[in-house]
Amino acid sequence: MFRRVDLDGFEIEAVGRNVAKVSYATSLQKKGVLISTTEHLLSACIGIGLDNAIVELDNLELPILDGSAKPFVELILQAGLKQQRKRRAYLKILREIEVREGNKFIAAYPADGYSVAYKINFATPIGEQSFEIDLSRDLYRKELAPARTFGFLHEESAMRNMGLIRGASEENVIVVTRQGVKNGGLRFENEFVRHKTLDLIGDLALLGKQVIGRIVADRAGHAMHTALVLRLLKDRSLWEETTETAETRAEIQPAALSPQPI
């Protein structure tokens, strides 16, 4: 739940029905009130297992920080997580769904855990990259959270003229020129596709529950991420809500009744 403390505490739920414009970032809107660039924080929450939180902010956009989810992860863990007695609810994919738009593709398939595979194909010097992560394991903090957002220098003027990337700088964006990265080294050799994976996990948080399934994306982007969210929420035959995972099924009673972490 996002709460605009500058607007008398107006609340906007982080769910698919509130998705607004999605171009270079994902925004939520309710009754004319906007919150922009939600994907990095939501990704951090999913990555560390936080699914019940109120996020207060005093303007329409979340801070970009260093362009990754790492500062959000560190600050949340510094504050501490609290375990609740109620069992966590999951959205379990029952039937495959695929969304295509030209050469872009995104899909959800049934699986026991939660994994995400992403492929990108940009012009040189990025080129083609792919990455896959199993979110059922504790890999997010090390493998995804530090991956920063990126942008092409030749697109900067046009984007600023559209009122976008107003907070962007060489301190929080990997600046890509036709010759290479302009502002220092990368945190990962394939940091670009890792960040797109980070974004996707944040956008899928708008399902309102953590996923049990396998997500595959190829050159998708925010618009297709949220299109998959809306398609899933519209068709209840594609999924079911459950509190059971592969791990809890393997447990013996009464241990399976123990509270799940958030």
Helix (H) or strand (E) holding 239: strand 239-242
Marked catalytic residue, from 40, 195, 222, 225:
222
Tell me the CA distances in angstroms from 96 to 17, 117, 202, one per residue in order: 22, 15, 21
User: Checking phi first, is residue 123 left (phi over 0); if not, alpha (psi -120 to 50) or beta?
Assistant: beta
Report yes or no: 200 and 223 within 8 Å, Cβ to Cβ: no
Neighbours of 244 (CB within 10 A): 12
Exposed e or buried b for every residue in 221-233, given b needs 16+ CB within 10 A? bbebbbbbbebbb
Determine the Cα–Cα distance for residues 208 and 210; give it in Å rounded to an integer: 7
Determine the Cα–Cα distance for residues 164 and 66; give it in Å rounded to an integer: 17
Report yes or no: 98 and 105 within 8 Å, Cβ to Cβ: yes
Strands 26-30 and 174-176: unpaired
What secondary structure letter does DSSP report for 252? P
Q: Look-up: residue for tokens 């792919």?
A: 130
Determine the Cα–Cα distance for residues 56 and 2; give it in Å rounded to an integer: 6
222 included as an active-site residue = yes
Determine the Cα–Cα distance for residues 114 and 66; give it in Å rounded to an integer: 27
Which sequence positions are flagged as catalytic?
A: 222
